[in-house]
Amino acid sequence: MIEAGRRSFNRIALAPSLVVLAAVAGLPALYLLVVSLTPFQLANPGSSSDFSAPLRNYALLPGDPRFINSLLVQARLSFWSVLLQVILGTGLALLLNVKSRMVEFARTFFLIPMVLPPIEVAVIWKLVYTPDISPLYYAASLLHVTLPALTSDVSFALWSIIIADTWEWLPFTFLMVLAALQTIPDEYAGAAKVDGANPVQIFLYVTLPFITPILIVSAMFRLIDSVKAFPLIFLLTQGGPGDVTEVTNYYAYLLAFDNNEIGYSGAVTVVMLLLVSAVSLGVLWMGRRREALA
């Protein structure tokens, strides 16, 4: 009797959430899928219900050089920024992993780039990359170095995004690794030291095996989120020069809201969503394996 009352309360408490979730997330996802099966263009309203060739958009994708290029740009951007964030984040965590009031106080300030609104990060880097007002260009001129216009140079544009993205998300990997470092029992390093291990050996054989799982998990998270680097690209390079920094997310945005090709953009987005879901499933699977091992 009590159990029954409780179960019905649970149902009543959960139902509204599920309904709202279905309405604001489920329905849009479904609608996106439907739109991707049509040749819908905003200028041509009748095309929104034209299902005569439902898979046409998807069939076009493999032969679209801009789409293929956007995947490659995304892969390059994700690879380098995730790699840099993991390496530098680990370094920073090692540096700050000491019991000291002052260092513990400083830790908080290292988090600032991550909590800033992403568009403000883009504004900050726009400032760094704008020659007239940039402290970077001023410093370079003091050293008699002439910097090219970083965001509009074919060979630097993607790196200008990678650097800004790394700056923004370095605190995330730093926080994750620091949390992992703090769970390593002191005795491990102490015992290795007694056995005559040097700091590098202690890092390679004691610390690294301990933090590897968290390094992989943070890398996966950053990999998933690196798809969202929209504000940086929007403000710094607009996908250019040419299509050097045009990632899939930005291409889908241009298609839908610049070219009004809603249907085709929908197909690009669905493919992107599938890729993100695959990585998310991987994260879940690894999380479960870790729980099973623990």
Partner 1 sequence: MSVRPSGQASVRRRIAVVLTLLILLLPFLWLLQMSFKTNDQILQFPPPLIFTPTLENYSALWHSAFSQSFVNSLLSASFSTLLALLFGVPGAYALSRWSGRGKGSLRFVILVTRMAPPIAFTIPFFLFYRWIGLLDTVTGLVLVYTSFNLPLVIWMMQPFFETVPASLEEAALVDGASARVIFTRIMLPMVTPGIAATAILCFLYAWNDFFFALILTRTAARTAPVAVVNFMNYEGWEWGKIAAGGSLVMAPVLVFSLAVRRYLVSGLTAGAVKG
Rounded to the nearest whole angstrom, what is the least distance from the CB of residue 137 to partner 1 in the complex? 9
Q: Is residue 287 near partner 1 by the rule CB under 8 A?
A: yes
* Burial of residue 32, with CB atoms counted within 10 A of its CB: 0-12 exposed, 13-18 middle, 19 or more buried: middle
> Of 56 and 107, which CB lies nearer to partner 1 in the complex structure?
107
Q: Cα separation of 287 and 27, whole Å?
A: 28
Stretch that binds partner 1, among 49-57, 62-70, 144-152, 269-277 (CB under 8 A): 269-277
Q: Is residue 260 near partner 1 by the rule CB under 8 A?
A: no
Q: Cα separation of 59 and 4, whole Å?
A: 52
Rounded to the nearest whole angstrom, what is the least distance from the CB of residue 154 to partner 1 in the complex? 23
Stretch that binds partner 1, among 5-13, 56-64, 79-87, 150-158 (CB under 8 A): 5-13
> Of 44 and 154, which CB lies nearer to partner 1 in the complex structure?
44
Interacting positions 14-43 with partner 1 (CB under 8 A): 14, 16-18, 20-21, 24-25, 27-29, 31-32, 35
Build a one-symbol-per-residue string for 100-119: x at contacts with partner 1 by CB under 8 A, - elsewhere.
x-xx--x-xxxxxxxxxxxx
Amino acid at the residue 160: S
* 186, HSE (Cβ side, Cα atoms, 13 Å): 3
CA dihedral (281, 282, 286, 292) in degrees, to 10, reads 40
Q: Is residue 97 near partner 1 by the rule CB under 8 A?
A: yes
Interacting positions 42-71 with partner 1 (CB under 8 A): none
> Of 149 and 154, which CB lies nearer to partner 1 in the complex structure?
149
Residues 16, 5 contacting (CB under 8 angstroms): no
Q: Is residue 72 near partner 1 by the rule CB under 8 A?
A: no
> Of 49 and 154, which CB lies nearer to partner 1 in the complex structure?
49
Interacting positions 113-172 with partner 1 (CB under 8 A): 113-120, 123-128, 132-133, 135, 138, 167, 170, 172
Rounded to the nearest whole angstrom, what is the least distance from the CB of residue 67 to partner 1 in the complex? 14
| C-alpha distances in Å from residue 166, one per residue of 59, 89, 173 | 35, 10, 10
* Burial of residue 105, with CB atoms counted within 10 A of its CB: 0-12 exposed, 13-18 middle, 19 or more buried: exposed
Rg (CA), the chain: 24
> Of 103 and 154, which CB lies nearer to partner 1 in the complex structure?
103
Q: Cα separation of 81 and 232, whole Å?
A: 13
Interacting positions 199-218 with partner 1 (CB under 8 A): 199-200, 202-203, 206-207, 217
Residues 35, 48 contacting (CB under 8 angstroms): yes
